[in-house]
């Protein structure tokens, strides 16, 4: 199976205008290789301020994103229901196949407490038919969203961003470029860093000399076997010196 549809839930849908209209990601969406749908979380609110957050139980600084709004939004997206059909309900819509806590498309909450995002996880997500990305904001999200809505929690690194939008974009880029036909050259997604657990070997193009730096002789030798061996050794050496942790991992 390969990813066909990706839904994004965010309070800043406009944030994605740039990434989704530029580069190979924009092209994949424009050409219909990926059915990408943006949803505004505020369309699932009940009050005139369209509030998505509230003060924390137990006190303390900051606001917490409300579980009811996230639940309605996710149930609508999972089941292709309109906001009016779900907002305010205390139980799932009768037409809902995918329900909170039960069977639902892979639904990834972007959060610093999630599991680290890797090329291996990107491959895993690219093999799903549907993916839903939840972009959190503010200081936190009600714990019941983690329990009932998300099937996965993913972090793009050990640092804290304002919210999940940048992280979602990282996931979308890494996943989309693995889809068949998106990168153009079918060879490229595998022949690169991480595909075989190593960093990529160095690349060179014309001119043959720049400021006294010349292209390694083996690359102009015409000996394909020697080139392949050189590249492999370079990749191993780079990985050993820069990212020895990668050599210890299974994937
Ligand atoms: N939201 C805020 N920080 C994040 C991170 N590091 N990864 C994923 N989502 C986030």
108 Cβ contact partners less than 8 Å away, ≥ 6 residues apart? 125, 131, 132, 133, 134, 150, 151, 152, 153, 154, 171
The whole-number pLDDT of residue 25 equals: 87
- 56 in contact with ligand 1, CB cutoff 6 A: no
Take atom 2 of ligand 1 and give the residue whose Cα is closest.
161
The whole-number pLDDT of residue 192 equals: 65
Listed ranges 12-21, 27-36, 215-224; the one with the highest mean pLDDT: 215-224
- 168 in contact with ligand 1, CB cutoff 6 A: no
Distance 99 CA to ligand 1 centre (A): 26
The proportion of the chain whose per-residue pLDDT surpasses 90, expressed as a percent, equals 84
The whole-number pLDDT of residue 186 equals: 59
Higher model confidence: residue 32 or residue 104? 104
Q: Kindly tell me if the per-residue pLDDT of 251 is higher than 60.
A: no
Q: Kindly tell me if the per-residue pLDDT of 217 is higher than 80.
A: yes
- 112 in contact with ligand 1, CB cutoff 6 A: yes
- 167 in contact with ligand 1, CB cutoff 6 A: yes
Q: How many CA atoms lie within 13 A of 66 on its CB side?
A: 19
Q: What single DSSP character describes residue 9? A: E
* Contact by Cβ (8 Å): 206, 219: no
214 Cβ contact partners less than 8 Å away, ≥ 6 residues apart? 208
- Residue 147 CB neighbours (<10 A): 11
Pick the CATH number of 194-250 from 3.30.413.10, 1.10.1270.20, 3.30.300.10, 3.30.420.40: 1.10.1270.20
Distance 205 CA to ligand 1 centre (A): 37
Average pLDDT value for the chain: 93
Q: Kindly tell me if the per-residue pLDDT of 15 is higher than 90.
A: yes
Q: What is the pTM of this model?
A: 0.93
Distance 31 CA to ligand 1 centre (A): 30
Written out in words, the top-level CATH class of the domain with range 5-176 is alpha beta
* Contact by Cβ (8 Å): 117, 171: yes
**Residue intervals in the chain for CATH 3.40.1280.10:** 5-176
Distance 44 CA to ligand 1 centre (A): 23
pLDDT range class, residue 127, cuts 50, 70, 90:
very high
């Amino acid at each position: 199976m390969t990813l066909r549809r990706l839904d994004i839930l965010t309070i800043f849908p406009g944030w994605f205008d740039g990434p989704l209209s530029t580069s190979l990601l924009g092209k994949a969406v424009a050409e219909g290789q990926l059915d990408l749908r943006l949803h505004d979380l505020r369309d699932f609110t009940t009050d005139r301020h369209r509030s998505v957050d509230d003060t924390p139980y137990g006190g303390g600084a900051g606001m917490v994103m409300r579980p009811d709004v996230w639940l309605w939004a996710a149930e609508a997206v999972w089941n292709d229901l309109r906001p009016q059909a779900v907002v305010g309900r205390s139980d799932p819509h009768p037409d809902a196949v995918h329900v909170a806590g039960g069977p639902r498309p892979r639904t990834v909450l972007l959060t610093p407490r999630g599991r680290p995002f890797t090329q291996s996880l990107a491959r895993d997500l690219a093999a799903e038919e549907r993916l839903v990305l939840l972009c959190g904001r503010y200081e936190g999200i009600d714990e019941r969203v983690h329990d009932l809505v998300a099937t996965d929690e993913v972090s793009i690194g050990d640092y804290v961003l304002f919210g999940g939008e940048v992280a979602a974009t990282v996931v979308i880029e890494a996943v989309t470029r693995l889809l068949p036909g998106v990168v153009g050259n079918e060879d490229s997604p595998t022949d690169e860093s991480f595909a075989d657990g190593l960093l990529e070997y160095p690349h060179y193009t014309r001119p043959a000399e720049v400021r006294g730096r010349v292209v390694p002789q083996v690359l102009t030798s015409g000996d394909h076997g020697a080139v392949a061996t050189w590249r492999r050794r370079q990749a191993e050496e780079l990985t050993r010196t820069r990212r020895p942790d990668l050599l210890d991992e299974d994937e």
